[in-house]
Structures are given as structure tokens and as C-alpha cells.
Amino acid sequence: MTYDFDLFVIGAGSGGVRAARFAAGYGARVAVAESRYLGGTCVNVGCVPKKLLVYGAHFAEDFEQAQAFGWSLSGEATFDWPTLIANKNREIERLNGIYRKLLVNSGVTLLEGHARLLDGHSVELGGQRYTAKHILIATGGWPHIPKIPGHEHAIGSNEAFFLEQLPKCVLVIGGGYIAVEFASIFHGLGAQTSLLYRGELFLRGFDGAVRKHLQEELSKRGLDLQFNSDIERIDKQPDGSLQATLKDGRVLVTDCVFYATGRRPMLDNLGLENTEVELDERGYIKVDEQFQTTAPSILALGDVIGRVQLTPVALAEGMAVARRLFKPEEYRLVDYRTIPTAVFSLPNIGTVGLSEEQAKEEGYRVEVYESRFRPMKLTLTECQERTLMKLVVDADSDRVLGCHMVGPEAGEIVQGLAVALKAGATKQIFDETIGVHPTAAEEFVTMRTPVSS
Ligand code: NDP
């Protein structure tokens, strides 16, 4: 049987583009279908625009702190949301163009439109049928907003990036990455912001000391954190404001309700019913460790398989799929251990490896090292922000199991530590590493006395 393509990728996000480009580089005939925007969530409504908004929000404290270093602003610093959004949109358009060039220059056929599976080897797009030896589903995810009464008045992250004006008052619902990051953005840019989380403490799954420390730092900055709180219904008022009735009976009035309550796999009108592809119990596409679905010719990766919803993980998965299919001699399984990650709240969280709680659950005899200090840059200012650094060590083997930080540039700092953890570094190796002085990061190699064991 001859096919139009060796690989047909559905979705030009991080994982799909990586698989397509590498497959084409290995000599395969590749097509990519995209119905929305090149670069997927990360480039358009995720990591990239979010980081730009975080930079924007950070200026508020930069202006304030600059005075302690002798700077004065002539007049008051003011902020214009439409300028930030317009500049952000221009940058995203530039990146869309780069993605287009990358694909076309690597010999991939780009098909813009909605692709629908017809069977294990064929796809329909724009009224035309395409056949392929392998099909890769890389359609990503989509914000999930619970269907409470009045949910249509709420926005999710897709809309937040395109608001015409910065709301004066925002309720952010959720306690994961997106909720914490956007609460920091809105608050930093001057909106009166409350974060409502249904549980005891946000960022479930992160190290307990990190969660507590971030709670304290965000509260110090004046961000209103309301735990054990959830919305029952939202009603639009005649003046356009929104009235949120909470499950405990309280009523909050706001301009904007922003839900960040997780993401669902994007499977809409994909035609899965025409194939043997099965979903797992959470509704994500079921795959084995080689990204093979239950249909022999169909693979899936990235957010749509719901493993670890992070861009660098999708990139690694895309590379693995391209190699497995077209360069098997270079194929290696994706290693999901010690994935570093950052939450770009203000201040940032950076983390890699096991939390203290996870290490104990896994049966390690744990030694914990912790350092809390005021960052040097702030010593001339009134700002009382404190940084937390924490190491979780296996007392038996001396291996460092986890590194955690809350503070400026935590994401940047933890990337290097991830290399050390991947290499199996022991606490002794950390101790023998010379620090870079004066930095915050040197604290990670100068913690000598365990705070608990
Ligand atoms: P998360 O899964 O991280 O968090 C979802 C949050 O919403 C949790 O606090 C959860 O509570 C809460 N929640 C879920 N359902 C409901 C509900 N029905 N009512 C009230 N609260 C609810 O999702 P996000 O949307 O924040 O982010 C999605 C993914 O995107 C992340 O997991 C991450 O992988 C990725 N991401 C990564 C970023 C980065 O690398 N910096 C940035 C942004 C996103 P509970 O804990 O109680 O379940």
C-alpha cells in the first residue's frame, strides 16, 4: 500500500512540530495539520505570552525599589494594558512566522484546517482525504471551566491574554500553576485580585515548605488568598459587574471571574470513533511507553495524553516518536524522572526532584536542609520579601533527591540543579562545589546543617 505521507501529524504545537521536523529531517514525507495557530498553547496562549505578562507585572516592584538605589521617576509610573497586549501580540505573530518557516524549510507539508480521522491511515481536511502510514495526534489541551450556573460569564486563560482592558477587580479560581501565575500577574499590574482555592493550601503536589512560603510571600504583597473557598454560581448584574456566590454563602462582587481549574484533552470532532484509539479513565488518549495508542498506526503525545503537561516534555516526546519511527538506532525512552519545573508567580518557584513529602512516602530516610534569607538586592529597600531554598537528601546514600526554591529567578537557578540531580549528585558533591559569590544560588552549595532528619 502506498500512502500520501509517511507521517501525518495533527496539531502544530510544541510536540507535533518537533516530531514533524525531526521526522522530515530523517527523510520521512511528513504533513502537519493545524486548525488554529502555529506553535500551539505554549506560543499563543501559554508559556510565552504568560512570561511576557509576568515581566510586565514585575516592573511595579522594580520602580518602587529603584528609589532605594537613588533613582527617581519624574511623575508617577503608570501602566497601560492595551500597549502590553499589543506588543505581546506582535511578538507572538513573529513567533508564528518562525514556526511556519521552521516547518516549511524542513520539508514538512503544512495543511491549515481542521483534520478529522477517517480510519487508522486516513484523515479528512478541507474536503480532501490524505493517507499516511503513521498518524500522530498532538492536539494538546483546552481550559476546563466547571459548568456551574453562570459559568458563561467567566473567562479562562485563552481569553485572559486578549482582554481589552485590565479588570479593576479579579477573582481567580483554582490553585495550580495557571491560577497562581495569573493571580501574580493581575495583582502586579494593579488589579485588586483574590485567589480562591477549594482546598486547604494551593499547589497540591509541590513541597509543603514551598507552598507555605509562597502563601506567606503572596499575602505579604497584598494578594488576597482565600482557601477552602469555591464558587457556587455567578450572576451578571445590571451594571455589568459579576456577583459570585460562594459555597459557604458569601457573596463577592467583581469585574472578572477567571477560572484556572485544569485543562482537558482537545479531542473535539477528531473522529476518534472511526479508529481503534481508546481513552484512559481520565479521558486522555491511552498510549504505551512508546506513545503507541490502541490503534496500531496511530500515536499520540503531549497534553492530549495527560502525562506531564509541560512544553519541554512534549518536545522530548516528539523527538522520541520521530526517532522511533524513522531513526530507531538513536531512539531512547523518555525519562520522566527529575523533570525540573517553575511556577512564574511573583516570587517564582523553581523545583526539581522529590518533595520532602514524596521522599518520605517513597520510604527514604530523609535529611532536610533549608535556608531562608532576604535577597541582597532588597537590603537597601523596604521590601521584606524572603527567599526559601531547600534540599531533600537521602540520608542513607547521601544522594540529593530534591531541590526547591521560592525567590527571584528560581526557574533559572533550578535548571542547573536539574543537571546535577540527573547525574545523581550527592550532598557531598553539592558541598564540594564552589559557590558563585555573591549570588542567591550559592546558598544551594553552602547549607551545612540539616534542619530535620
Ligand atoms: P492544574 O492541574 O495545575 O491545577 C488545577 C487547579 O484547579 C487545582 O488547584 C485544582 O484543585 C483546581 N480545580 C480543579 N477542578 C476544580 C473544580 N471543579 N473546582 C474548583 N477547583 C478545581 O491546572 P492549571 O489549569 O493550573 O494548569 C494546567 C497544566 O498546565 C499544569 O498542570 C501544568 O502542567 C501546565 N502549566 C505549566 C506552567 C509552567 O510550567 N510554568 C504554567 C501553566 C500551566 P485540586 O488541587 O484540589 O485538585
Q: Give me the pLDDT at residue 214, please.
A: 98
Location of each CATH 3.30.390.30 domain in the chain: 341-445
Query: Ligand 1: which atom is nearest the Cα of residue 230?
Result: 20
Q: How close is the Cα of 249 to the center of ligand 1, in Å?
A: 24
Instruction: Give the count of beta carbons closer than 10 Å to the beta carbon of residue 73.
Output: 10
242 neighbors 234 (Cβ within 8 angstroms): yes
Strand arrangement, sheet containing 256-259: 224-226, 192-196, 169-173, 256-259
Q: What is the pLDDT of residues 45-90, one digit of tens each?
A: 999 999 999 999 999 999 999 999 999 988 889 999 999 999 999 9
232: left (phi over 0), alpha (psi -120 to 50) or beta: alpha
Shortest-distance atom of ligand 1 to CA 342: 41
Question: In the chain, pLDDT over 70 holds for what percent of residues?
Answer: 100
Indicate if ligand 1 lies below 6 Å from the C-beta of 261.
yes
Residue range 98-157, pLDDT digits in tens: 999 999 999 999 999 999 999 999 999 999 999 999 999 999 999 999 999 999 999 999
Asked if pLDDT for residue 445 goes beyond 90, the answer is yes
**4 near 31, Cβ under 8 Å?**
yes
- What pLDDT sits at residue 75? 85
Mean pLDDT of 402-415: 98
CA-nearest residue for atom 9, ligand 1, is 175
Please report which confidence band the pLDDT of residue 220 belongs to, taking 50, 70 and 90 as the band edges: very high
Residues of the chain with CATH 3.50.50.60: 5-142+264-330, 151-261
Q: Which residues are catalytic?
A: 437
Q: What is the pLDDT of residue 453?
A: 73
Q: Ligand 1 center to residue 261 CA distance, Å? A: 5
CA 130 / ligand 1 centre spacing (Å) = 36
Mutate to test the pocket of ligand 1, among 52, 177, 308 (most ligand atoms within 8 A of CB): 177
Dihedral sign, Cα of residue 362, residue 366, residue 372, residue 376? negative
Q: What is the pLDDT of residue 76?
A: 87
What's the gap in Å between 76 CA and the centre of ligand 1? 36
The whole-number pLDDT of residue 73 equals: 85
Query: Would you state the pLDDT for residue 39?
Result: 97
Q: Is residue 205 lining ligand 1, measured as CB closer than 6 Å?
A: no
Give, for ligand 1, the residue of 178, 258, 266, 339 to mutate: max count of ligand atoms closer than 8 Å to Cβ: 178
pLDDT of residue 452: 80
Spacing, Cα 127 to ligand 1 middle (Å): 37
The superfamily CATH assigns to domain 151-261 is FAD/NAD(P)-binding domain (3.50.50.60)
Residue 329 pLDDT > 80:
yes
Is the CB of residue 179 below 6 angstroms from any atom belonging to ligand 1?
Answer: yes
Topology adopted by domain 341-445 = Enolase-like; domain 1 (3.30.390)
User: What homologous superfamily is domain 5-142+264-330 in, according to CATH?
Assistant: FAD/NAD(P)-binding domain (3.50.50.60)
Atom from ligand 1 closest to the CA of residue 411: 41
pLDDT for position 1: 81
Tell me the mean pLDDT in the region 425-429.
98
> In the chain, what is the greatest distance between 2 CA atoms, to the nearest angstrom?
74
Query: What's the whole-number average pLDDT of the chain?
Result: 97
Ligand 1 pocket, residue 198 CB under 6 Å: yes
Average pLDDT over residues 272-277: 98
